[in-house]
């Protein structure tokens, strides 16, 4: 089976000023090639879990191993972010460049690709997602569904080995939802989806986990 | 979104197709010259040039007129005051009111100058989408940080304006009616404060999303501009026209000079 | 209040532009690229907030909020206000290009002054902070009005009366901006105190 892609050991995390921790002595594993759905009531820590993996939040105690390496400091997480992609819940948080092409190329450029390579990668990624004519579109003038797909393109353009999606179906119409399911089914990397939509998860993942304060329970 | 739009930026006219860098430079030079001009001859010629550009840009005249009307409100205020209060020779009396020649001619000059600059601004700069403008400015002499700040700000104005509208609607639904009272001012203050809080939270998330995509302090712009033959012609003609304006301003003995002429 | 194109003398325009460049340069120097999202989002929020029209008797006034901007942004108020005014000139043709410098200075200089003048007062608990918040909003407008008047008078003595009236028109705005700044301050202190960190730094 190989070593886990992500392993969280005995994590404790509380938001500053909060009376009760989100996670206490929390442990979690994601194995290679797995497609996992995370479910649970609002506020149970699904998004927090994703942010802990990306290093946007730091646990008060416990250790995080990603691709078998322990990550602790900002510098370690810089490496993580090159290999793990996170799709934010609200695409307006993710898309900040004026045009779609620039936004999709932003990640590859940060990875040190030359502008030419970055544009090629961006175009390829957009073609894969059926966004061929979007290059010069202005990001904030896209529809909600288009924004979501472009945001996904910006993440996939970095060629991640693992993809985290935070409620990807919010505000999507039926057609875009189908497109998204189709795209996810065609991916050959491991991914983890936070969602409240059973039907969507049934189409995209094999296992679903309930997020609790100290573990993830497989259904 | 009714409040914020760029009504002039879309079009296929010759002016729309010109390189934005050229248009920015010409508009800036023109604006400075008009601001400095002191003679009616040069100002009228400038106004004619600006109107020529506007005609070439083929914009909706009703929209342009609408904008000009708004812009002239300050000018209108000056017409109410300056001819009466400007020191000089009285040419017309009406009761206690005294209109001075200098006041009238000076206000007229200001009106012409102001409209010439604004028309040129509409014809040359407002025909560039703000996004392209930001990219063009960073290719000119503007600091990179400032251009990114401009693009970033512009992008999120739309998002925040939508939030603002949602908040206002939510206030209306609950029966809010603005008036001259403390309740109104407090409610508006909370509205503004809520916008600030949301923008602060969003900034946090935007920055996190950037970090997730490997941001480490550098922005890249992929936009490439290139000069076409029409741009070179436009620049040459504009420079000639501007030189002619300077000559007109310096050769022609001032019909009327402003106080600092 | 924005001064329109074509009114001010070349010397005043040049002086305003020069000061605006210096202020903006200082402001830009103080931000690193990491801070750009934060500053941009705040500028965008202030831009949108300035679209709010508050009724004062029969007329509607739009908010300026430069005192508040100063509290949040300090010197960064210069680039933020410059960009806000530039966008207003572009999107609504308010103000203009050659007056951009003067208009930036008349709004941003009081913002920066307010930041240094009222920081201490706002840090104190209770009444002094409230007085400070009101005074910060009100005095920023007063100072803006004075600077506009100075710009007009230095253009030509003929503008005396106009300048006086402009200043008079600023008085009701002063009171309203003071109140709004006070309420915004109270709101943030309760809801999101970390946003006021700049004052305590």
Domains of chain A, earliest start first = 6-218 (3.40.50.300)
pLDDT in tens, C74-93: 999 999 999 999 998 888 88
Q: Does C54 score more than 90 pLDDT?
A: no
The C-alpha R_g of chain C, in whole angstroms, comes to: 16
pLDDT single digits (tens) A132-148 = 899 888 887 889 899 99
Average pLDDT, chain A: 90
B86/B104 Cα distance (integer angstroms): 9
Quickly list DSSP for A101-124: HHHHHHHHHHTT--HHHHHHHHHH
- CA dihedral of residues C124, C130, C133, C138 (deg, nearest 10): -140
Residue C1: the pLDDT is 61
Tell me if A96 and B152 make a contact (CB, 8 A cut-off). yes
Tell me which residue in A99, A106, A140 faces B159 most closely, judged by beta carbons. A140
From chain A, the residues in CB contact with B218 under 8 A are 109-110
Q: Tell me, what's the pLDDT at B260? A: 47
Digits of tens for pLDDT over chain B (261 positions)?
Answer: 345 678 888 888 889 999 999 999 999 999 999 999 989 999 999 999 999 999 999 998 888 998 888 888 878 888 888 888 888 888 888 777 888 888 889 899 999 999 999 999 999 999 998 888 988 998 888 898 999 899 889 988 988 988 888 888 777 767 787 888 888 888 899 889 988 988 888 888 888 888 888 887 777 777 788 899 999 999 999 999 999 999 998 876 554 444 443
For chain C, percent of residues with pLDDT exceeding 70: 98
Look at residue C67 in the predicted model and tell me its pLDDT. 93
Tokens linked to B180 = 């001259």
Residue ranges in chain C assigned as alpha helix (H): 10-30, 36-49, 66-73, 77-92, 100-123, 127-155, 160-191, 197-200
pLDDT at residue C191 greater than cutoff 90: no
- Per residue in C103-133, pLDDT tens? 999 999 999 999 999 988 888 888 999 999 9
Provide the pLDDT for residue C60: 75
Neighbouring CB atoms inside 10 A of C41's CB total: 29
- Burial per residue of A97-125, b for 16 or more beta-carbon CB atoms within 10 angstroms, e otherwise: bbbbbbbbbbbbbbbebeeeebbebbbeb
**Chain C hits for B33, Cβ within 8 Å:** none
Relative to beta strand A207-211, strand A216-218 is antiparallel
HSE toward the beta carbon, residue B172, CA cutoff 13 A: 6
Q: At what angle do helices C77-92 and C100-123 cross, to 10 degrees?
A: 140
Which B residues, 62 through 91, put their C-beta within 8 Å of a C-beta on chain C?
67-68, 70-71, 74-75, 78, 81-82, 84-88
- Say whether B214 sits in a helix, a strand or coil: coil
Write the DSSP symbol of residue A99: B
Domains assigned to chain C = 10-200 (1.10.1760.20)
B interface test, pick of A52, A54, A93, A108 with most B CB neighbours within 10 Å: A93
Residue B70 has a pLDDT of: 80
pLDDT < 70 stretches in chain A: 1
Per the CB < 8 Å rule, is A155 touching B222? no
**pLDDT tens readout for residues C143-170:** 999 999 999 999 988 888 889 988 998 9
pLDDT on residue B1: 38
* Start-to-end C-alpha separation, chain C: 31
Would you say A146 and A130 are in contact if contact means Cβ atoms under 8 Å apart? no
Subunits with 3+ C-beta pairs closer than 8 A to C: B
Please provide the distance, in angstroms rounded to a whole number, between the alpha carbons at the two ends of chain B. Answer: 45
pLDDT at B253: 58
- Helix spans in chain B (H): 14-17, 20-36, 40-57, 61-85, 101-120, 130-139, 144-173, 182-212, 229-251
The helix-helix angle for C36-49 and B182-212 (nearest 10°) equals 150
H helix or E strand, kind and range, residue A126 = helix A115-128
Per-residue pLDDT at C100 exceeds 80: yes
Neighbours of B136 (CB within 10 A): 21
Contacts of B220 in chain A (CB under 8 A): 102, 105-106, 109, 115, 118
- Whole-angstrom CA distances from B16 to B6, B10, B66, B223, C85 are 13, 8, 21, 17, 23
Question: Strand, helix or coil at A165?
Answer: strand
């Amino acid at each position: 089976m190989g070593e886990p892609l992500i392993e969280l050991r005995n994590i404790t995390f509380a938001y500053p000023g909060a009376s009760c921790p989100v996670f206490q002595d929390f442990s979690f594993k994601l194995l290679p090639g797995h497609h996992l759905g995370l479910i649970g009531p609002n506020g149970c820590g699904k998004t927090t879990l994703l942010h802990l993996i990306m290093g946007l939040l730091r646990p008060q105690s416990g250790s995080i191993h990603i691709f078998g390496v322990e990550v602790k400091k900002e510098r370690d997480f810089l490496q993580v972010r090159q290999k793990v992609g996170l799709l934010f819940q609200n695409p307006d948080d993710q898309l900040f460049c004026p045009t779609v092409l620039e936004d999709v190329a932003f990640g590859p450029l940060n990875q040190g690709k030359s502008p030419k390579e970055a544009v090629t990668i961006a175009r390829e990624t957009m073609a894969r997602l059926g966004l061929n004519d979007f290059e010069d579109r202005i990001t904030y003038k896209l529809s909600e569904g288009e924004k979501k797909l472009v945001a996904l393109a910006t993440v996939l353009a970095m060629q991640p080995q693992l993809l985290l999606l935070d409620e990807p179906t919010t505000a999507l119409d039926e057609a875009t939802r189908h497109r998204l399911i189709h795209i996810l089914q065609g991916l050959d990397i491991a991914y983890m989806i936070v969602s409240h939509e059973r039907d969507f998860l049934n189409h995209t993942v094999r296992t679903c986990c309930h997020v609790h304060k100290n573990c993830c329970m497989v259904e | 979104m009714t409040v914020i739009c760029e009504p002039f930026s879309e079009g296929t006219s010759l002016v729309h197709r010109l390189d934005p860098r050229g248009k920015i430079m010409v508009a800036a030079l023109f604006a400075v010259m008009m601001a400095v001009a002191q003679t009616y001859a040069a100002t009228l010629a400038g106004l004619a040039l600006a109107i020529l550009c506007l005609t070439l840009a083929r914009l909706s005249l009703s929209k342009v007129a609408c904008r000009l009307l708004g812009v002239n409100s300050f000018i209108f205020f000056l017409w109410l005051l300056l001819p009466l209060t400007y020191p000089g020779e009285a040419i017309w009396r009406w009761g206690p009111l005294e209109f001075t020649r200098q006041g009238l001619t000076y206000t007229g000059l200001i009106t012409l100058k102001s409209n010439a600059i604004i028309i040129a601004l509409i014809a040359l700069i407002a025909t560039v989408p703000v996004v392209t403008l930001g990219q063009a400015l960073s290719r000119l002499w503007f600091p990179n940080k400032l251009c990114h700040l401009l693009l970033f700000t512009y992008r999120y104005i739309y998002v925040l304006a939508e939030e603002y509208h949602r908040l206002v609607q939510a206030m209306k639904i609950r029966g809010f009616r603005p008036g001259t009272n403390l309740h109104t001012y407090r409610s508006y203050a909370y509205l503004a404060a809520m916008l600030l809080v949301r923008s602060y939270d969003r900034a946090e998330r935007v920055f996190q999303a950037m970090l997730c995509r490997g941001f480490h302090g550098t922005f890249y712009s992929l936009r490439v501009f290139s000069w076409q033959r029409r741009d070179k012609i436009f620049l040459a003609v504009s420079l000639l026209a501007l030189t002619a304006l300077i000559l007109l301003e310096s050769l022609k003995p001032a019909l009327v000079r402003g106080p600092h002429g | 209040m924005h001064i329109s194109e074509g009114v001010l003398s070349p010397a005043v325009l040049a002086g305003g532009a020069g000061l605006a460049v210096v202020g903006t340069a200082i402001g830009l120097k103080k931000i690193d690229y990491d801070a750009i999202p934060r500053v941009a989002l705040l500028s965008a929020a202030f831009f949108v907030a300035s679209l709010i029209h508050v009724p004062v008797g029969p007329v509607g006034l739009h908010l300026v909020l430069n005192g508040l901007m100063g509290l949040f942004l300090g010197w960064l108020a210069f680039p933020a206000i410059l960009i806000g005014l530039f966008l207003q000139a572009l999107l609504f043709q308010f103000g203009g290009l050659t007056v951009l410098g003067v208009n930036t200075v008349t709004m941003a200089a009081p913002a920066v002054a307010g930041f240094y003048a009222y920081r201490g007062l706002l840090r104190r608990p209770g009444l002094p902070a409230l007085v400070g918040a009101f005074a910060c909003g009100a005095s920023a407008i007063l100072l803006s009005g004075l600077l506009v008047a100075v710009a007009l008078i230095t253009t030509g003595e003929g503008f005396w009366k106009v300048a006086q009236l402009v200043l008079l028109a600023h008085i009701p705005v002063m009171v309203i901006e003071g109140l709004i700044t006070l309420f915004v301050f109270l709101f943030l202190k309760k809801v999101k105190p970390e946003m006021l960190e700049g004052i305590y730094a």
